Structure 1
């Protein structure tokens, strides 16, 4: 995504008649040059700074870079984004993410991994049936690393 982001940053800066020197503090000229030459990727915090400096939302910068990279139309990008956001909302993922926040930060969690006993039992059952870890991962729709972790644990 470095090159498409570089292209949109260059185009936005030129469109707005800005120079690298005119971009507000927090993004120095050498850093901007590296971004605009596709040699560096911004952190999320820097992306937010850039979006403010260019008068564009971070969503616009990432969306435009995605559009360029994938060679799709604006309408196709908007449709895909809307569909994926609706899926997140319908699945309760957005509500779950909001529940992770409290007092302008993330709510604290206990140290260590939480054991999903139902998932562990399902993985152990697949193991007992003679399935491989890869088959178990695919059948249960679970990350291979998660399967591997529970695979090694006895019931």
Structure 2
């Protein structure tokens, strides 16, 4: 999902609304890059988008919400309501605590090597195994890859 043209339009609109020119954004990037970005001719990293939002004095989340709203052809309030609902759901699923556990202060906690597991899927596989289903039947019922079911089956 590319947001090049949406970012181009939103950045142009915000920059114009703020009465800024390319020179005001020079600390973020060279003028030619900003012009190319505003023409929809280049991608931008999240780091650069964050820096650009600071230079525009416009919240990065709001900037991205505007881009998503343009892409989905919906009012930005709808985009924000959907995001708020997903954040509430994330909180209710224990996501806030899980997120906090990923950091020690501002440092990302190292995770163990290998592919991370899915406890819910593993539990579901074990339940189906206990009920007498085969690995193939469990894979179909859960919509998981056979290799994933095999891994959880034998863990």
Would the TM-score normalized by the shorter structure come out above 0.5? yes
TM-aligned CA deviation for residue 114 of structure 1: 4.7
Structure 1, unaligned stretches of length 5 or more? 139-143
Report Cα offsets for 1:30-60 as digits up to 9, x if no partner: 2212211112221111111001010101101
Tell me which residue corresponds to 1:150.
148
Q: Scaled by the length of structure 2, what TM-score is found?
A: 0.78
Task: State the 4+ residue runs in structure 1 displaced beyond 3 angstroms.
Answer: 113-118, 123-127, 151-154
Tell me which residue corresponds to 1:33.
35
| 1:119 aligns to 2:122 (yes or no) | yes
TM-aligned CA deviation for residue 120 of structure 1: 7.7
| 1:72 aligns to 2:97 (yes or no) | no
Tell me which residue corresponds to 1:59.
61
Tell me which residue corresponds to 2:134.
128
Tell me which residue corresponds to 2:100.
98
Structure 1 residues 21 and 137, CA gap change in structure 2 (3 angstroms): farther
TM-aligned CA deviation for residue 136 of structure 1: 4.2
User: Does the residue aligned with 1:111 lie in a helix, a strand or coil?
Assistant: coil
Structure 2, unaligned stretches of length 5 or more? none
Q: CA RMSD in A?
A: 2.7
Q: Distance in 2 between matches of 1:19 and 1:70?
A: 28
Structure 1 residues 79 and 120, CA gap change in structure 2 (3 angstroms): closer
User: Does the residue aligned with 1:131 lie in a helix, a strand or coil?
Assistant: helix
Structure 1 residues 31 and 148, CA gap change in structure 2 (3 angstroms): farther
Structure 1 residues 74 and 127, CA gap change in structure 2 (3 angstroms): same
How many residue pairs get aligned? The number is 147
